[in-house]
Amino acid sequence: MITDLNIPALDVAGLECGYDDKVLLRDLNFQVKRGEIFFIIGASGCGKSTLLRHLIGLRAPTAGTVKFYGECFNGAPADRQREMLKRIGVLYQGGALWSSLSLLENVMLPLEEYTPLDAAERAELACMKLAQVGLAGYDSYFPAEISGGMKKRAGLARALALDPSIVFFDEPSAGLDPLTSRKLDELIVNLRDLLGMTCVVVSHELASIFSIADRVVMLDKQTQGIIAEGDPRVLVKAGADVRVREFLGRGDDAKVAAIQNQPSP
Amino acid sequence: MPEPTVTTPETRVLLHSKDEELLVELQGDWRITETRPSWVALLAGSAPKRVKFVWGALGEWDSALLLFVFEVRQWCRVKGVYCDLSCMPEAMQKLLGQLVVVNETRMTVDRSKDFVTVVGLAAQDVWAKTQEIATFVGECVISAGNLLKLPRKFRWRDCLEEMQRCGAMALPIVSLISLLTGLIMAYQSAILMRQFGADIYVADAVGLVMVREMGAMMTAIILAGRTGAAFAATLGNMKAGEEIDALTTLGIRPVDFLVMPRILALAVMMPLLALYANGLGILGGMAVSLGVLHIPPAAYWIETQTAIDLSDVATGLIKASAFGVLVGLAGCHSGLRAERSAAGVGNAATSAVVMGLLLIIVFDALFAVIFSIFGL
């Protein structure tokens, strides 16, 4: 459909985010390539989640543009925005499953709203999405009956229901144990490889950043903007800003040393 | 993602017949949100012996293409036609495999329960709830004992705050409703009394019913909706936020700390509000009598005084106090056993109101019986 492969999947230019009169982030500029796993990182309170809310249209930016595949999203008329939203998937922090619907119905709802498929095909497709995230056989469960990790998987299945070209993840590792979190990371990579979607992840989980991020931007509260952009494995030892090296190199010294001694890709 | 910047190739399937083999060339963009071509319609009655897919000039494709290929594959299986999928790229092969697995192994787990099980579970539930309520009431009695033993340790500040909230702040709504109740009763009793020329007895009717019954009852109903629900929501929210657990691990009984101040506040404020409601109800009756029946207020007041004595007022206030305790118990109990979720808090508020109203009516009937036995 889009022939020019050089147009970035997500193009943020001069974006200013904030609530009411308070500006949290100003003059943000970054681009996300197709099929990339792109992380937005930073310390708690630096405005990562706020930025995400601005990117997916939950809040209107005070200045600047958000472009999906070259088309401006935040300035588009409402019906065009709705059209564009069909091609975006969002995995919210707690999965945000609708508690009155079973997992299957949760995944089927976007299909029901936006596709011409009949009921049997919808169910089959939704089942397949659940199987893809490792929840085969859980169709009839309700969100209250499953664990936090499973809720996120189910949320991911729902985010993928309409085969979006960009999927946004809000803190996918939040509240998960390291092993479950790693499995979710692997799932994200596998699904990206299989379906080719672009992933934009908001996270501060170092393990995820180093294992799956292709590129990151780091936000900072004082600067109110981006203080680093690039491959985290390079930034951790060669980042220009000491805050970046400190953040990425936090914690286990031996592990950091190991990372820093690796030849950068 | 958005509409293409270049012209969209349409979703297209080109069929080329070669001998008995049918070449199915896939082209264009395939979006799940668009209608995809139907295989049966494309065939238009022809019956190929072999079907071979050709990966043509495809643009963006997603599950729509997957479902189409799957549809063809299923058709071929049913008709016993060979289906050549060798041209498919790896991702498509993989997705197709997943869909086949889902299609073949999918069985909806029947998690419904039979009638006997449902009845049994419901009975167990009723029993468990009864026990819960009994335990809760027992705990409240123990807390009341603690309050009497160590009044210093009681949360008087909380109690006063609750009194302000459930008493003083409820005055406007109580005023309006009791005034209107008196007014309505005066109109209704006037219909009957006028037939006998006994207009003045409207004062007796309004006064007695208001003081003995409606004052306490209307106040209790208002507070069940207003305060009982608020108690349940507050405590339910505190439970969801693990505040109740934090109290328990500190060795502080939540009932002492949270429930007693609220119940005491209601038990004290409810009779006061009921007394106030009585007065306003009588005032409402007086207004109707003056306006419609032309009875002077002084006459009305003297007639009211002859009709009501202190024991009537006392029965009303005793009931009001009891209703206060009941509404408080219902609200706090629902709040404390709320599920830890937003929906749980909502359910707790609902059940607090329902349980409060139920208890009010049941106990009102009980009081009617008891008071008639004692001749009050």
Could you tell me the pLDDT band of residue A4, with boundaries at 50, 70 and 90?
low
Cα of B33 to nearest chain A Cα, Å: 4
From residue B276, give the alpha-carbon distance in Å to each of A91, B177, B212, B281, B300: 55, 11, 13, 9, 18
Contact B3 A83 (CB under 8 A): yes
Contact A163 B63 (CB under 8 A): yes
Could you tell me the pLDDT band of residue B125, with boundaries at 50, 70 and 90?
very high
pLDDT in tens, B238-295: 998 889 999 999 888 999 999 999 999 999 999 999 999 999 999 999 999 999 999 9
φ, ψ for residue B27, nearest 5 deg: -140, 165
Report whether pLDDT(B212) > 90: yes
pTM: 0.74
Cα of B5 to nearest chain A Cα, Å: 7
Could you tell me the pLDDT band of residue B48, with boundaries at 50, 70 and 90?
confident
Residue A88 burial (CB count, 10 A): 23
CB neighbour list of residue A161: distance below 8 Å, 6 or more residues apart: A89, A107, A108, A109, A110, A111, A125, A126, A129
Is A120's Cβ below 8 Å from some Cβ in B?
Answer: no
> What mean pLDDT value characterizes chain A?
86
Taking contacts as CB-CB distances below 8 angstroms, the residues of chain B near A132 are 98
CA–CA distance, B297 with A193 (Å, rounded to integer) = 88
What was the pLDDT predicted at A255?
55
CA–CA distance, A230 with B235 (Å, rounded to integer) = 48
Q: Which residue has the tokens 């170092």?
A: A206
Fill in the amino acid letter for A86. Answer: K
Contact B341 A99 (CB under 8 A): yes
pLDDT in tens, B18-45: 778 888 888 888 888 888 888 888 888 7
Taking contacts as CB-CB distances below 8 angstroms, the residues of chain B near A83 are 2-3
The separation between CA B289 and the C-alpha centre of its own chain, rounded to angstroms, equals 42
Taking contacts as CB-CB distances below 8 angstroms, the residues of chain A near B62 are 163
Chain B, nearest residue to A142 by Cα: B111
More confident residue, B238 or A256: B238
What was the pLDDT predicted at B144?
93
More confident residue, A5 or A68: A68
Contact A196 B91 (CB under 8 A): yes
Q: Residues A9, A198: contact at Cβ < 8 Å?
A: yes
* ipTM for the whole predicted complex goes beyond 0.95: no
CA–CA distance, A128 with B98 (Å, rounded to integer) = 7
What was the pLDDT predicted at A252?
47
Is A111's Cβ below 8 Å from some Cβ in B?
Answer: yes
pLDDT in tens, A161-173: 999 999 999 999 8
Report whether pLDDT(B54) > 70: yes
Could you tell me the pLDDT band of residue B4, with boundaries at 50, 70 and 90?
very low
Cα of B69 to nearest chain A Cα, Å: 13
